[in-house]
């Protein structure tokens, strides 16, 4: 049984107010973050930190993104109810839950087998039902394309061309692009074959691995 008591709801409300103060203006995004119980994604040892605006380890050397980052990317995506959204980097599944709360139909792909297995079992137990895929999401999920929105939750060396190809007309891709340690948030919008590129703030994501990401065998010096 997943507990969500008044204390946790209170801390979530406080987190939402903090995100609003930090500049997140889309009330639908804030409402979605206010609904997803972030503490259930945390181990007992880290439970007290669940509503801090910080990224935390989820095992396998990966992280659950900072709430501000989740809110920032989600706001840039501009998700509408019924949108078909592809997420690259399922991780804990938290971001997928936020997208589902916005009424999207969510496809999510994870490259780490253990995280994929864990999250594919855990999210439905919480009542969240995205479509789960295992594999190299830097190439997208071409079988289910096109997508209205694509969100990449790991840092890419370049904008993956496959993801641009898999965007629907009027589609939006949000992807952090840059070095292994620091990336600029990029938004690509596709309109009648024309691509518009916008750049936003700097973030620090774990690397997007794979064919159109970083080589998993390349170790940092
Ligand atoms: N969205 C996640 C959440 O809500 O918890 C956080 C994602 S974590 C910052 C980045 C994730 O991207 C990791 O779980 C990592 O294994 C995954 N990843 C890295 N390269 C990938 C790839 N090519 N395809 C799919 N997932 C990938």
d(CA 198, CA 19): 22
The rounded Å distance from CA 6 to ligand 1 centre is: 31
User: Which residues are known to be catalytic?
Assistant: 65
Amino acid 3: pLDDT:
82
Give the residue, out of 111, 116, 120, 161, with the most ligand 1 atoms within 8 A of its beta carbon, to mutate for a pocket test. Answer: 111
The verdict on the CB of residue 89 being under 6 Å from ligand 1 is yes
pLDDT digit string, tens, across residues 81-115: 999 999 999 999 999 999 999 999 999 999 999 99
Token code pair at residue 134: 């295992």
Q: Report the candidate in 206, 129, 211, 208 with the shortest Cα–Cα distance to residue 173.
A: 208
The verdict on the CB of residue 92 being under 6 Å from ligand 1 is yes
pLDDT digit string, tens, across residues 192-201: 999 999 999 9
Q: Report the candidate in 26, 38, 36 with the shortest Cα–Cα distance to residue 64.
A: 38
Q: How far does Cα 93 stand from its chain's mean position?
A: 8
Taking the chain, what is the end-to-end CA distance rounded to the nearest angstrom?
45
d(CA 140, CA 133): 10
d(CA 122, CA 154): 21
The verdict on the CB of residue 141 being under 6 Å from ligand 1 is no
pTM value > 0.85: yes
Residue 219 pLDDT > 80, yes or no?
Answer: no
pLDDT digit string, tens, across residues 140-173: 999 999 999 999 999 999 999 999 999 999 999 9
Q: Report the candidate in 83, 90, 74 with the shortest Cα–Cα distance to residue 19.
A: 74
Nearest residue CA, atom 2 of ligand 1?
Answer: 91
Q: Domain 6-203, what fold?
A: Rossmann fold (3.40.50)
């Amino acid at each position: 049984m997943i507990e969500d008591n008044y204390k946790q709801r209170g801390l979530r409300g406080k987190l939402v107010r903090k995100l609003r103060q930090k500049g997140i203006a889309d009330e639908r995004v804030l409402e979605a973050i206010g609904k997803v119980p972030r503490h259930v994604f945390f181990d007992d040892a880290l439970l007290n930190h669940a509503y801090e605006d910080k990224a935390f380890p989820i095992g396998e050397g990966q992280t659950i993104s900072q709430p501000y980052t989740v809110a920032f990317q989600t706001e840039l995506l501009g998700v509408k109810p019924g949108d078909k959204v592809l997420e690259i980097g399922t991780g804990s599944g938290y971001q997928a839950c936020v997208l589902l709360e916005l009424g999207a139909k969510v496809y999510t792909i994870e490259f780490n087998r253990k995280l994929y297995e864990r999250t594919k079992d855990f999210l439905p137990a919480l009542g969240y039902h995205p479509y789960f895929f295992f594999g190299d999401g830097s190439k997208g999920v071409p079988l289910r394309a096109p997508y209205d929105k694509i969100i990449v939750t790991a840092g890419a060396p370049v904008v993956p061309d496959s993801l641009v190809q898999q965007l629907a007309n009027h589609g939006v891709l949000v992807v952090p692009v840059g070095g292994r340690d620091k990336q600029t948030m990029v938004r690509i919008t596709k309109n009648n074959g024309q691509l518009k590129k916008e750049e936003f703030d700097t973030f620090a994501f774990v690397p997007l691995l794979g064919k159109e990401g970083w080589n998993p065998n390349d170790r940092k010096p």
